[in-house]
């Protein structure tokens, strides 16, 4: 696989938030979101075998593994890696940008599917057929930069009745939208939406040595 980095950290978001997690970040992405915070993973990377990845994860000694990017579903090996992890007893989460089919990921693998908001510049790339593939064990995440994003995301959530399908996460763009503002909007909406904060950034304030 083409890998940007593999490391152990306190997972910052979603289903595994707060838990020690082995993180496999693949290199390469088919989108260019305006607020992307992992631009270093858009290109480059090094070739690493699945056996080497599994060996590194065993060294980290965590129960949970997150495969993220970049965009994991661009690489065919992601499916085999996720299956290996699942069979080895790891709680396995694949985070995807929502532009590619998720139905190829076997049941038992947790999936977090981004729905790109207008501020990302990539909302036209959302693959709507993925909504039909969602399970209760999945998460859908909206990254919110402003009130327009929020209102758009509420309308999307209502239109597809997402809260009846899976957990819905609203995450503020780091440094652009204050979490307390987003929290108030969520409360005022009356909808069953989870505020999703990036714990790793709150803990280490982007200090690279703190999250490796």
Tens of pLDDT along 89-148?
A: 999 999 999 999 999 998 899 999 999 999 999 999 999 999 999 999 999 999 999 999
How much is the average pLDDT of 32-44? 94
pLDDT at 208 over 90: no
Could you give the CA distance from residue 200 to residue 9 in angstroms, rounded to a whole number?
A: 8
pTM: 0.93
Non-local (6+) Cβ contacts of 212 within 8 A are 7, 9
What pLDDT, on a 0 to 100 scale, did the predictor assign at position 198? 86
Could you give the CA distance from residue 10 to residue 127 in angstroms, rounded to a whole number?
A: 30
What pLDDT, on a 0 to 100 scale, did the predictor assign at position 206? 58
Closest C-alpha to 20, from 118, 90, 86: 90
Which CATH topology does 2-211 take?
Answer: TIM Barrel (3.20.20)
């Amino acid at each position: 696989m083409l890998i940007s980095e593999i490391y152990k950290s306190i997972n910052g978001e979603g289903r595994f938030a707060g838990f020690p997690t082995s993180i496999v970040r693949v290199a390469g992405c088919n989108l260019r979101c305006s607020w992307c915070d992992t631009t270093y993973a858009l290109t480059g990377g090094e070739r690493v075998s699945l056996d080497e990845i599994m060996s590194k994860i065993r060294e980290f000694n965590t129960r949970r593994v997150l495969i993220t990017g970049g965009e994991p579903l661009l690489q065919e090996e992601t499916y085999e890696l996720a299956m290996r992890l699942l069979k080895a007893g790891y709680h396995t989460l694949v985070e995807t940008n929502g532009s590619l089919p998720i139905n190829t990921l076997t049941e038992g693998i947790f999936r977090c599917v981004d729905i790109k908001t207008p501020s990302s510049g990539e909302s036209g790339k959302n693959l709507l057929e993925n909504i039909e593939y969602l399970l209760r064990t999945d998460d859908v995440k909206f990254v919110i930069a402003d009130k327009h994003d929020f209102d758009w995301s509420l309308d999307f959530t209502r239109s597809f009745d997402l809260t009846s399908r899976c957990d819905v996460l609203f995450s503020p763009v780091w440094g652009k939208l204050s979490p307390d503002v987003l929290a108030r909007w969520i409360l005022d909406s009356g909808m069953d939406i989870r505020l999703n904060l990036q714990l790793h950034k709150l803990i280490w304030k982007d200090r690279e040595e703190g999250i490796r």
